Chains A and B, each alone.
Chain A
Amino acid sequence: MTPSRDEIKRRLEHAMELLREFYEGRHRGALARSRRDEDDLFMLLVLSESMGIPNPASYYTLELLPLVMDRFHEWHLRMGMEHSPLDGFRCC
């Protein structure tokens, strides 16, 4: 028995969905990484003075601290630092 018209449509849609997953999956990972890289760079810019990189705006980065600090632990791990690099800031 040949599959009905609807059945063919359903199977085609399923195949397309799989292809899209395959294609998008790779890009999703790349996009997520790109975004994370930007966020990591932002964190570095905000914390630079505390890490010994002179930053003329360190006073104004303070108001950003509460907004970035809860990412701090993941960030320093990703940056390859096993422990908190800030003397005044211990998260682990």
Chain B
Amino acid sequence: MTRSVFPGSLLASDGPRILFVGGKGGVGKTTTASALALELARAGRRCLLVSTDPAHSLGDIFGVELTATPRKLRGGLHALELDPDRQVVRYLDQVRENMQGLVRPAMYHEIERQLELSRQAPGAVEAATMDRISQLMADTVRRPRGEGDWDVLVFDTAPTGHTLRLLSLPEIMAAWTDGLLRTRQRSDAWGRALERLSGGRAAEAPGEGDELSYIDQVEEGGGHQDARSRRIREVLLERRRKFTRARRLLLDPAVTAFIWVLIPEKLPILESEKAIRTLDEHRVPVAGMVVNRVLPRGDLGAFLESRRAQEEEYLARIRKHFSRIPRIQVPLLARDVEGMETLEQVGRILMGGERGSPPPG
């Protein structure tokens, strides 16, 4: 088995540390992610399997209860289901904590109300999910293989739209923080010009009395520094750093592999075509495709033979449209994939060890 090409590359000792498994709802993302994670654990990697879908089904496939804290499934394999609501609450607690000393106590109550309203705000759950994902990614790659908590992260993602938005979030957010930072820079530049002009004296705008009373000037390091302005800049820069880091990790093919799952049917193919285009636009590297639930060879009877004839057309379309993406086919199995045993079977098929028919052409 050559390990430089998909899917063997996933198990290589210098393989990607972060795997995303995505696709339309119901095509077998959770199955694929779980089977891959089992194979990685079998190959000696300490692997954390993470479900990012708000409607989790990861615990169900293993028949265990999962929470936001990693739970051991077997040697080398842990799993968790993200809890964005808990994440939002933690974030708001942190905002509250930062409020101390910055805001007059009389205003605590008002800010508290604002925070409570924001809990339900659109985008909060998504942003919290992305925060947690990028934190996990950063924590994992910070340490070399074998030294940190996890060697490899496998993300079982939510259906297409949600995941694409999630992946584009760092880019959009970085642009947004840049915009805010520019506003701050201009404000600071005016402030500095003002200071130079006044030769270090506190500036006053003539005719409008305390126009500048809202700028807290503090003495620091010989010059006047607007402590608040500096703090705002720090908060923004820290945010920006996190977004940039997430984006850098997502886009690095040496770190991240995106695995796309689909089934040979019309709608999943159409959706995949659009999704792959979007991933390309965002320059997210797609490592390979899993064509799931392909009808097996052999005598299937007239009914299934007719389905297989139709399936052949779809498989041809997949070959044509995704010619540059490495693909693996996984046959439709006689029974549902559930529990370790069948997942291991799927894992072996994925890695080409068992009835893994490499796509013709």
Contacts and interface: CB of A to CB of B under 8 A. Distances in A.
B138 to A, nearest CB: 17
Majority secondary structure, A binding face: helix
A86 B228 CA distance: 23
B232 A64 contact: yes
B187 A35 contact: yes
Nearest to B238: A63
A67 B118 contact: no
B335 interface: no
A24 B194 CA distance: 9
B235 interface: yes
A69 B122 CA distance: 22
B221 interface: no
Interface in A46-62: 46, 49-50, 56-60, 62
A86 B127 contact: no
Contact of B190 (A24, A31, A68): A31
Contact of A56 (B176, B183, B193, B231): B176
Given A59-B121, A63-B95, A65-B95, A38 B235 contact: no
B55 interface: no
A79 to B, nearest CB: 14
Most chain A CB within 10 A, of B91, B172, B190, B208, is at: B190
Contact of A88 (B117, B179, B191): B117
Interface in B177-214: 177, 179-180, 183-184, 186-187, 190-191, 193-194, 197-198, 203-208, 211-212, 214
A27 B187 contact: no
A65 B187 contact: no
A13 interface: no
B316 interface: no
Given A66-B103, A70-B104, A88-B117, A34 B214 contact: no
Contact of A63 (B98, B107, B190, B204): B98
Interface string A17-37: 000000011111101111110
Given A70-B107, A86-B114, A62 B205 contact: no
Nearest to B172: A56
Contact of B191 (A35, A59, A90): A35
A88 B127 CA distance: 22
A28 B187 contact: no
Nearest to B94: A63
A65 B116 CA distance: 13
Contacts of A49: 121
Interface of B: 91-92, 94-95, 98-99, 102-104, 107, 110-111, 113-118, 121-124, 127-128, 172-173, 176-177, 179-180, 183-184, 186-187, 190-191, 193-194, 197-198, 203-208, 211-212, 214-215, 228, 231-232, 235-236, 239
Interface of A: 24-29, 31-36, 38-39, 41-42, 45-46, 49-50, 56-60, 62-71, 74, 86-91
Given A29-B208, A59-B128, 18 more contacts: A27-B197, A32-B190, A32-B211, A33-B205, A35-B194, A39-B187, A57-B173, A59-B124, A60-B173, A62-B95, A62-B115, A63-B91, A64-B236, A65-B99, A67-B231, A67-B235, A70-B104, A87-B117
